[in-house]
């Protein structure tokens, strides 16, 4: 085989290996996503580009991406895990009767001018979930922009098999690049 053919063969192998690696990484490890809409404002903004980690199991307060239907993926925050009782009273989250702080909502709460709560009071039974606890194999999710989010209050609990992964890295726009902490 001539040197020219050997060099072409090596380049072809390198390109094929690169494509296989990209396929494996995007299929099983991480994938990019573009935030579509304002339901996670002010934590995430419309058109932010993020990296989704497909390996980690969702935990409370993680931001997750899930298949809402055949055509749409939603991005929301995990509020309840399987078996949890969820309730909001006076703009405070209660999980299994224990109050939780939500520091990621502080900026929005400070900007409220109408005197109404950011998160209206409800119990899990009052939502589309319609029962006392988050069903096994499901999570209860909410957008950070509580007044304007189509989330588990309206669509019900999200089956874990519909979760694409967790995300906390914004990489675009560059000036807004950040790692989001709970």
Q: Is 39 a catalytic residue?
A: yes
Structure tokens at 167: 């995300």
Structure tokens at 161: 């098999």
Q: Is 98 a catalytic residue?
A: no
Q: What is the largest CA-CA distance in the chain?
A: 79
Give the active site residue among 39, 89, 107, 175: 39
Q: Buried b vs exposed e over 108-141: b needs ≥16 C-beta within 10 Å?
A: beeeeeeeebbbeeeebeebebeeebbeeebbbb
Q: With CA atoms as reference, report the closest residue to 40 among 145, 142, 163.
A: 145
> Under a CB-based contact definition with an 8 Å cutoff, are residues 54 and 73 in contact?
no
Give the active site residue among 5, 76, 123, 175: 76
List Cα–Cα distances, 91 to 22, 84, 99, 107, 132, in angstroms: 44, 18, 11, 14, 19
Q: With CA atoms as reference, report the closest residue to 80 among 64, 56, 104.
A: 64
Catalytic annotation, residues: 39, 76
């Amino acid at each position: 085989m001539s040197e020219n053919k050997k060099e072409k063969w090596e380049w072809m192998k390198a390109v094929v290996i690169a494509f296989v690696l990209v396929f494996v990484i995007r299929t099983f490890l991480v994938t990019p996503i573009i935030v579509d809409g304002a339901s996670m404002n002010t934590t995430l903004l419309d058109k932010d580009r993020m990296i989704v980690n497909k390996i980690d199991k969702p935990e409370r307060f993680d931001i997750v991406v899930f298949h809402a239907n055949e055509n749409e993926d939603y991005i929301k925050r995990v509020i309840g895990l399987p078996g949890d009782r969820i309730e909001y009273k006076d703009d405070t989250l209660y999980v299994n009767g224990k109050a939780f702080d939500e520091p990621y909502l502080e900026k929005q709460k400070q900007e409220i001018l109408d005197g109404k709560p950011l998160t209206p009071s409800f119990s899990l039974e009052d939502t589309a979930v319609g029962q006392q606890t988050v069903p096994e194999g499901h999570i209860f999710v909410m957008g950070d922009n509580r007044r304007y989010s189509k989330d588990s209050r309206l669509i019900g609990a999200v089956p874990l098999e519909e979760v694409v992964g967790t995300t906390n890295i914004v990489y675009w726009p560059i000036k807004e690049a950040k790692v989001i902490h709970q």
